[in-house]
Chains A and B, each alone.
Chain A
Amino acid sequence: MSAYRRYDEVAVGDVYPAEPLTFDVSADVVDGFLSATGNDGSLYRERSGTRRAPSMIASAYLIDLLMARRSPPGGIHAKQSIRFHRPIEVGEKLSIQGTVIEKYIRKERPYVVSSFETRGSDGTLVSSGQVTSIWGKDL
Chain B
Amino acid sequence: MSPAAHALSSDATQIAVGDTLPMLTRSITQEMINAYAEATGDFNPIHVDPEYSRTGPFGRTIAHGLMTLAFVAQMLNEWSDGRFDACGEIDIAFVGPVFVGDTVEVTGSVEELVARDGETCARIRLVCRAGERQILAGHALQPIENGKS
A interface with B by C-beta (< 8 Å): 29, 32-33, 35-39, 43, 52, 54-56, 58-60, 62-64, 67, 73-88, 132
Contact B70 A33 (CB under 8 A): yes
Which B residues are in CB contact (< 8 Å) with A37? Answer: 26, 36, 39, 67, 70-71, 74
Binds A, one of B12-20, B89-97, B107-115, B127-135: B89-97
Q: Which chain A residue has the least Cβ–Cβ distance from B56? A: A74
Interface of A is mostly: mixed
- Give 1 or 0 for each of B23-52: 1 = CB within 8 Å of chain A CB: 000100000100110111110111000001
Chain B: interface residue total (CB-CB under 8 A): 40
Known contacts A54-B70, A55-B86, A85-B87; 12 additional CB pairs below 8 A are A33-B70, A35-B39, A37-B36, A39-B70, A55-B88, A56-B74, A58-B66, A59-B42, A73-B45, A83-B89, A84-B85, A84-B87
Interface of B is mostly: helix
Contact A55 B45 (CB under 8 A): no
3 A-B pairs with the lowest CB-CB distances in the bound complex, closest first: A59-B66, A32-B39, A36-B35
Q: Could you show 25 A-B contacts with beta carbons less than 8 Å apart?
A: A32-B38, A32-B39, A33-B39, A36-B40, A37-B71, A38-B26, A43-B77, A43-B85, A52-B82, A54-B74, A55-B86, A56-B74, A59-B42, A59-B70, A60-B40, A73-B45, A73-B46, A74-B44, A74-B52, A78-B94, A79-B94, A81-B1, A81-B92, A87-B85, A88-B85
